[in-house]
Amino acid sequence: MTQSHSVAVIVGSLRAASLSRKVAHALIGLAPEGLDLKIIEIGDLALYNEELEASPPAPWTRFRDEMKAVSAVLFVTPEYNRSVPGALKNALDVGSRPYGQSIWGGKPGAIVSVSPGAMGAFGANHHLRQSLVFLDVPTLQQPEAYVGHAGALFDDQDNLTNEGTKGFLGGFMKAFGAWVQTNARA
């Protein structure tokens, strides 16, 4: 029997019509049995400043509480300047503080990077992996997911229309589901 796990989907792009958000919705639709995926928003998180910990901003508390309640995390991100967007890095920082109270530790994760270009945001994918090692997020290694030419994959209603990509992402989600089943803490 497959145990059910809640999965936070963190989208690195803040734009409502971003390619990363479209891919995130496609991944949610391709999730195997046993994974309950939900996008957790990061756009309202104030920049991390330790001085604010005395009275944390409400969005920090909301984000931390939502993340504490999930078993795993799926990052879907574009690439900005060969790295992750600042909003995503800020979410990592807000979730990792205060020291000793990180919401990330031990949650199995995976990364899907998205780009309108050919490289599929390879740099962002690997840069994010560096942070996740430190944050103790056991990250799915294979298959790697770099979604290039993403602007040509959706119709006017934001439906994923490329069957090859749909098949690949379905396989990715199946592997991620197995990863979560194996690595999620009880």
pLDDT (tens, 9 = 90+) of the chain, 186 residues, equals 478 999 999 999 999 999 999 999 999 999 999 999 999 999 999 999 999 999 999 999 999 999 999 999 999 999 999 999 999 999 999 999 999 999 999 999 999 999 998 887 899 999 999 999 999 999 999 999 999 999 999 999 999 999 999 999 999 999 999 999 999 986
Q: 5-183: what fold?
A: Rossmann fold (3.40.50)
Please give the sequence-ordered ranges of beta strands (E in DSSP) within the chain, or none if there are none. Answer: 5-11, 35-39, 72-77, 109-114, 145-147
DSSP state letter for 153: S
pTM of the complete model: 0.96
Show me where the domains of the chain are located. 5-183
